């Protein structure tokens, strides 16, 4: 295979040797500059962005640890200026399915601007709705294998119900940035590729009226607890409360005793 230098390639053009050399040098500079752009750091992010790790312990009203600690939404809030603008765009669609007269998943965090699909996997009809201030909506009655969708533009909590089956409830937490996750059964969590700087990390649980929170400083070396000034994983303890899921239907009336 024959190879050619840039000056050699320019010989086919009717230009002087001096001009050919200058063009070759200019193209080389532009090429190197373009390659260099691939490694340019984004403000607020390390070359290898760190992760925030930790755990959540859910305790009952008597303070005894539960056997399952999943379903707690952990997210970063009050990020430093510029961190959110560098964050990736939301996924095109998320999903909450209707199966066995329940919503699945029951708890779902999403980034503001995300569209959520609500497919019906049941053989019975459903009517998904919400009266939340964040995003009120009513999808109407629809049957098996039908999917309807809603786009959630504003951050906030959206409680979702079925107008036919009062036992169906889901919690959609719409967040302002993509740095969030949900705990597993052990209560463990990891938020990947977070921006550097000071932030508030919060833990939200559907059976607690108050979020747990902690101020942290994310550095290239790890996460520091600002109160203790030590680097360590984050840990929260959340106590469950008795919170009724009873609610009115979409017209503000009681559900019939049989449905």
CATH architecture, domain defined by 88-176:
Sandwich (2.60)
SS3 65: strand
Fold classification of 41-87+180-246 (topology level)? Immunoglobulin-like (2.60.40)
Tell me the average pLDDT across 120-131. Answer: 98
Show me where the domains of the chain are located.
Answer: 6-37, 41-87+180-246, 88-176
* Least-confidence region, from 7-21, 57-71, 82-96, 242-256: 7-21
Question: Is it the case that residue 8 has pLDDT exceeding 70?
Answer: no
Whole-number percent of the chain with pLDDT over 70: 77
Tell me the average pLDDT across 56-76. Answer: 97
Q: Model confidence at 15, in pLDDT bands (50, 70, 90)?
A: low
CB 28 within 8 A of CB 7: no
What's the pLDDT at 21? 53
- Close Cβ partners of 245 (under 8 Å, ≥ 6 residues apart): 167, 169
DSSP state of 20: H
Q: Model confidence at 154, in pLDDT bands (50, 70, 90)?
A: very high
What's the pLDDT at 226? 76
Q: Do 41-87+180-246 and 88-176 have matching folds? A: yes
Containing 186, the helix (H) or strand (E) segment is none
Decide which of 34 and 90 is more confident.
Answer: 90
Nearest to 119 by CA among 109, 106, 132, 104: 104
| Whole-structure pTM value | 0.79
Q: Model confidence at 200, in pLDDT bands (50, 70, 90)?
A: very high
Decide which of 42 and 223 is more confident.
Answer: 223
What's the CA gap between 5 and 33, in Å, rounded? 19
Tell me the average pLDDT across 138-144. Answer: 98
Q: Model confidence at 86, in pLDDT bands (50, 70, 90)?
A: low
């Amino acid at each position: 295979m024959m190879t050619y230098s840039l000056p050699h390639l320019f010989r086919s053009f009717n230009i002087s040797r001096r001009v050919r050399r200058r063009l070759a040098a200019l193209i080389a500079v532009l090429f190197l500059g373009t390659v260099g752009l691939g490694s340019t750091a984004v403000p607020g992010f390390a070359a290898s962005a760190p992760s925030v790790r930790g755990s959540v312990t859910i305790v009952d009203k008597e303070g005894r640890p539960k056997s399952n600690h999943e379903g707690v939404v952990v997210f970063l809030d009050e990020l430093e200026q510029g961190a959110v603008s560098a964050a990736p765009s939301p996924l095109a669609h998320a999903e909450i399915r209707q199966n066995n007269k329940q919503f699945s998943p029951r708890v779902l965090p999403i980034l503001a601007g995300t569209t959520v699909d609500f497919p019906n996997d049941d053989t019975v009809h459903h009517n998904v709705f919400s009266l939340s201030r964040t995003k009120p909506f009513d999808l109407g009655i629809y049957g098996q294998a039908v999917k309807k969708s809603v786009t959630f533009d504003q951050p906030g909590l959206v409680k979702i119900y079925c107008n036919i089956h009062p036992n169906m409830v889901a919690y959609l937490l719409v967040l302002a940035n993509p740095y969030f996750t949900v705990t597993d059964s052990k209560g463990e969590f990891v938020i990947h590729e977070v921006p550097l700087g000071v932030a508030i990390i919060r833990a939200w649980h559907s059976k607690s009226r108050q979020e747990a929170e902690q101020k942290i400083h994310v550095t290239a070396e790890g996460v520091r607890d600002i109160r203790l000034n030590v680097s360590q994983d984050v840990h929260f303890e959340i106590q469950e409360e008795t919170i009724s899921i009873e609610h009115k239907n979409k017209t503000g009336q009681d559900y019939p005793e049989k449905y």
